[in-house]
Homo-oligomer: A and B are copies of this chain.
Amino acid sequence: MKVEKISELTTSRLSVYLRCLEELSASGVRTISSEELARKFRLNSAQIRKDLAYFGEFGVRGVGYYVDDLREHLRRILGLDKEHKVCIIGAGRLGTALADYNGFKKSNFSVVALFDIDESKIGKSIGNVKIYNFADFHKIVRLEKIEIAVITVPAYAAQQVLDEVVRAGIKAVLNFAPVTLIADASVKVKTVDLTTSLESLSYFLNQPVNGRDE
Protein backbone atom coordinates (compact mmCIF):
# COMPACT_ATOMS: atom_id res chain seq x y z
CA MET A 1 0.00 0.00 0.00
CA LYS A 2 1.38 3.40 -0.92
CA VAL A 3 2.06 5.82 1.91
CA GLU A 4 2.36 8.94 -0.23
CA LYS A 5 0.44 12.02 0.72
CA ILE A 6 -3.20 11.82 -0.21
CA SER A 7 -5.49 14.79 0.06
CA GLU A 8 -8.07 15.46 2.72
CA LEU A 9 -10.76 15.45 0.05
CA THR A 10 -9.77 11.85 -0.76
CA THR A 11 -9.99 10.73 2.87
CA SER A 12 -13.38 12.44 3.13
CA ARG A 13 -14.55 10.45 0.10
CA LEU A 14 -13.23 7.22 1.63
CA SER A 15 -15.33 8.03 4.71
CA VAL A 16 -18.36 8.48 2.48
CA TYR A 17 -17.71 5.14 0.70
CA LEU A 18 -17.32 3.44 4.08
CA ARG A 19 -20.68 4.83 5.21
CA CYS A 20 -22.31 3.50 2.00
CA LEU A 21 -20.71 0.07 2.39
CA GLU A 22 -21.90 -0.17 6.00
CA GLU A 23 -25.43 0.57 4.82
CA LEU A 24 -25.16 -2.05 2.04
CA SER A 25 -23.71 -4.62 4.41
CA ALA A 26 -26.48 -4.00 6.94
CA SER A 27 -29.10 -4.62 4.24
CA GLY A 28 -27.44 -7.90 3.20
CA VAL A 29 -25.76 -6.85 -0.07
CA ARG A 30 -22.67 -9.04 -0.69
CA THR A 31 -21.12 -7.57 -3.87
CA ILE A 32 -21.47 -4.29 -5.76
CA SER A 33 -19.92 -2.71 -8.85
CA SER A 34 -18.55 0.83 -8.85
CA GLU A 35 -21.39 1.79 -11.23
CA GLU A 36 -24.09 0.45 -8.90
CA LEU A 37 -22.42 2.05 -5.90
CA ALA A 38 -22.30 5.37 -7.75
CA ARG A 39 -25.93 5.14 -8.86
CA LYS A 40 -27.27 4.07 -5.47
CA PHE A 41 -25.51 6.79 -3.49
CA ARG A 42 -25.20 9.49 -6.19
CA LEU A 43 -21.41 9.29 -6.43
CA ASN A 44 -19.01 9.32 -9.39
CA SER A 45 -18.05 5.78 -10.50
CA ALA A 46 -14.76 6.81 -12.18
CA GLN A 47 -13.78 8.66 -9.02
CA ILE A 48 -14.59 5.60 -6.88
CA ARG A 49 -12.39 3.38 -9.06
CA LYS A 50 -9.57 5.92 -9.03
CA ASP A 51 -9.70 6.46 -5.26
CA LEU A 52 -9.76 2.76 -4.48
CA ALA A 53 -7.13 1.81 -7.08
CA TYR A 54 -4.77 4.15 -5.28
CA PHE A 55 -4.75 1.82 -2.28
CA GLY A 56 -4.50 -1.42 -4.27
CA GLU A 57 -6.76 -3.49 -6.46
CA PHE A 58 -9.95 -4.23 -4.58
CA GLY A 59 -12.36 -4.90 -7.46
CA VAL A 60 -12.90 -8.32 -9.05
CA ARG A 61 -13.66 -8.43 -12.79
CA GLY A 62 -17.28 -9.42 -13.44
CA VAL A 63 -18.15 -9.25 -9.74
CA GLY A 64 -17.28 -5.75 -8.56
CA TYR A 65 -16.35 -5.24 -4.93
CA TYR A 66 -16.99 -7.65 -2.08
CA VAL A 67 -18.88 -5.33 0.27
CA ASP A 68 -17.57 -6.69 3.59
CA ASP A 69 -13.97 -7.04 2.40
CA LEU A 70 -13.88 -3.52 0.99
CA ARG A 71 -15.46 -2.16 4.15
CA GLU A 72 -12.75 -3.78 6.28
CA HIS A 73 -10.01 -2.50 3.94
CA LEU A 74 -11.35 1.04 4.20
CA ARG A 75 -11.65 0.80 7.98
CA ARG A 76 -7.98 -0.21 8.12
CA ILE A 77 -6.84 2.52 5.67
CA LEU A 78 -8.69 5.14 7.74
CA GLY A 79 -7.17 3.78 10.96
CA LEU A 80 -10.62 2.83 12.24
CA ASP A 81 -9.61 -0.66 13.36
CA LYS A 82 -8.25 0.90 16.59
CA GLU A 83 -9.90 2.99 19.29
CA HIS A 84 -8.88 6.66 19.42
CA LYS A 85 -9.15 8.72 22.57
CA VAL A 86 -10.41 12.26 22.15
CA CYS A 87 -10.53 15.28 24.43
CA ILE A 88 -12.57 18.44 23.99
CA ILE A 89 -11.20 21.81 25.07
CA GLY A 90 -13.90 24.33 25.89
CA ALA A 91 -16.88 23.07 27.91
CA GLY A 92 -19.28 25.64 26.48
CA ARG A 93 -22.44 24.81 24.52
CA LEU A 94 -20.66 23.30 21.50
CA GLY A 95 -18.06 21.39 23.55
CA THR A 96 -20.62 19.80 25.83
CA ALA A 97 -22.87 19.07 22.84
CA LEU A 98 -20.02 17.18 21.17
CA ALA A 99 -19.18 15.28 24.39
CA ASP A 100 -22.74 14.10 24.30
CA TYR A 101 -22.99 13.53 20.51
CA ASN A 102 -24.56 10.16 19.76
CA GLY A 103 -22.70 9.78 16.46
CA PHE A 104 -19.39 9.52 18.32
CA LYS A 105 -20.80 6.94 20.73
CA LYS A 106 -21.40 4.55 17.84
CA SER A 107 -17.89 5.10 16.44
CA ASN A 108 -14.43 4.05 17.60
CA PHE A 109 -13.70 7.55 18.88
CA SER A 110 -14.25 7.95 22.59
CA VAL A 111 -14.36 11.30 24.31
CA VAL A 112 -12.49 10.79 27.61
CA ALA A 113 -12.08 14.36 28.89
CA LEU A 114 -13.42 17.91 28.65
CA PHE A 115 -11.25 20.88 29.64
CA ASP A 116 -12.13 24.40 30.69
CA ILE A 117 -10.68 27.23 32.76
CA ASP A 118 -14.03 28.21 34.33
CA GLU A 119 -13.92 27.15 38.02
CA SER A 120 -17.71 26.75 38.09
CA LYS A 121 -17.52 24.02 35.42
CA ILE A 122 -14.40 22.12 36.55
CA GLY A 123 -15.20 18.86 38.37
CA LYS A 124 -18.67 18.50 36.83
CA SER A 125 -19.49 15.82 34.24
CA ILE A 126 -21.36 15.70 30.92
CA GLY A 127 -22.69 12.15 30.73
CA ASN A 128 -19.61 10.09 31.62
CA VAL A 129 -17.12 12.76 30.60
CA LYS A 130 -15.51 14.77 33.38
CA ILE A 131 -14.58 18.47 33.00
CA TYR A 132 -10.94 18.99 34.04
CA ASN A 133 -8.96 22.14 34.70
CA PHE A 134 -7.05 23.10 31.54
CA ALA A 135 -4.06 23.71 33.85
CA ASP A 136 -3.84 19.89 34.18
CA PHE A 137 -3.98 19.34 30.42
CA HIS A 138 -0.53 17.77 29.91
CA LYS A 139 -1.00 15.38 32.83
CA ILE A 140 -4.44 14.14 31.73
CA VAL A 141 -3.32 13.75 28.08
CA ARG A 142 -0.48 11.51 29.24
CA LEU A 143 -2.60 9.53 31.71
CA GLU A 144 -5.50 8.97 29.32
CA LYS A 145 -3.30 8.48 26.21
CA ILE A 146 -5.29 11.12 24.31
CA GLU A 147 -4.47 11.30 20.57
CA ILE A 148 -7.01 13.81 19.23
CA ALA A 149 -7.99 17.24 20.59
CA VAL A 150 -11.21 19.01 19.63
CA ILE A 151 -11.09 22.79 20.10
CA THR A 152 -14.39 24.52 20.90
CA VAL A 153 -13.12 27.64 22.67
CA PRO A 154 -13.94 31.17 21.42
CA ALA A 155 -12.02 32.28 18.31
CA TYR A 156 -9.75 34.71 20.21
CA ALA A 157 -8.44 31.93 22.48
CA ALA A 158 -8.08 29.18 19.87
CA GLN A 159 -4.48 29.74 18.74
CA GLN A 160 -3.19 29.83 22.30
CA VAL A 161 -5.04 26.59 23.09
CA LEU A 162 -3.66 24.96 19.93
CA ASP A 163 -0.09 25.91 20.92
CA GLU A 164 -0.62 24.18 24.27
CA VAL A 165 -2.14 21.12 22.55
CA VAL A 166 0.92 20.85 20.30
CA ARG A 167 3.27 21.20 23.30
CA ALA A 168 1.45 18.28 24.92
CA GLY A 169 2.44 16.14 21.91
CA ILE A 170 -0.98 15.78 20.27
CA LYS A 171 -0.73 15.36 16.48
CA ALA A 172 -4.36 15.60 15.35
CA VAL A 173 -6.70 18.49 16.04
CA LEU A 174 -10.28 19.21 15.07
CA ASN A 175 -11.00 22.93 15.34
CA PHE A 176 -14.56 24.30 15.55
CA ALA A 177 -13.47 27.87 16.31
CA PRO A 178 -14.29 29.99 13.23
CA VAL A 179 -10.67 31.08 12.69
CA THR A 180 -7.64 29.79 10.76
CA LEU A 181 -5.04 28.30 13.09
CA ILE A 182 -1.32 27.88 12.48
CA ALA A 183 0.64 24.81 13.52
CA ASP A 184 3.80 22.93 12.62
CA ALA A 185 3.54 20.67 9.54
CA SER A 186 3.85 17.58 11.76
CA VAL A 187 0.47 18.39 13.32
CA LYS A 188 -2.77 17.98 11.40
CA VAL A 189 -5.33 20.66 12.14
CA LYS A 190 -8.73 20.24 10.53
CA THR A 191 -11.05 23.21 10.87
CA VAL A 192 -14.75 22.36 10.68
CA ASP A 193 -16.65 25.28 9.27
CA LEU A 194 -20.33 24.66 9.82
CA THR A 195 -21.25 27.41 7.35
CA THR A 196 -19.88 25.24 4.48
CA SER A 197 -22.78 22.84 4.99
CA LEU A 198 -25.26 25.69 4.87
CA GLU A 199 -23.62 27.03 1.71
CA SER A 200 -24.30 23.86 -0.24
CA LEU A 201 -27.97 24.13 0.79
CA SER A 202 -27.97 27.74 -0.31
CA TYR A 203 -26.67 26.64 -3.75
CA PHE A 204 -29.56 24.20 -3.94
CA LEU A 205 -32.17 26.82 -3.03
CA ASN A 206 -30.71 28.95 -5.82
CA GLN A 207 -31.40 26.34 -8.55
CA PRO A 208 -34.51 26.08 -10.73
CA VAL A 209 -36.78 23.32 -9.42
CA ASN A 210 -35.95 20.79 -12.18
CA GLY A 211 -32.25 21.02 -11.36
CA ARG A 212 -32.81 19.85 -7.82
CA ASP A 213 -33.12 16.09 -8.01
CA GLU A 214 -29.42 15.30 -8.16
Interface residues of A (CB under 8 A from B): 3-9, 11-16, 18-19, 23, 42-44, 77-80, 84, 86, 92-94, 96-98, 100-104, 106-107, 109, 147-148, 154-155, 171-174, 177-178, 180, 185-186, 188, 190, 192-209, 211-214
Contact = CB atoms under 8 A, between A and B. Distances in A.
Given A12-B200, A104-B195, A213 B186 contact: yes
A193 B197 CA distance: 11
Contacts of A6: 214
Contact of A42 (B3, B7, B13, B147): B7
A79 B186 contact: no
Given A12-B200, A106-B195, 17 more contacts: A4-B211, A9-B44, A12-B196, A14-B203, A15-B195, A16-B196, A19-B193, A78-B203, A79-B205, A93-B96, A94-B94, A101-B178, A104-B195, A171-B205, A172-B202, A172-B205, A185-B212
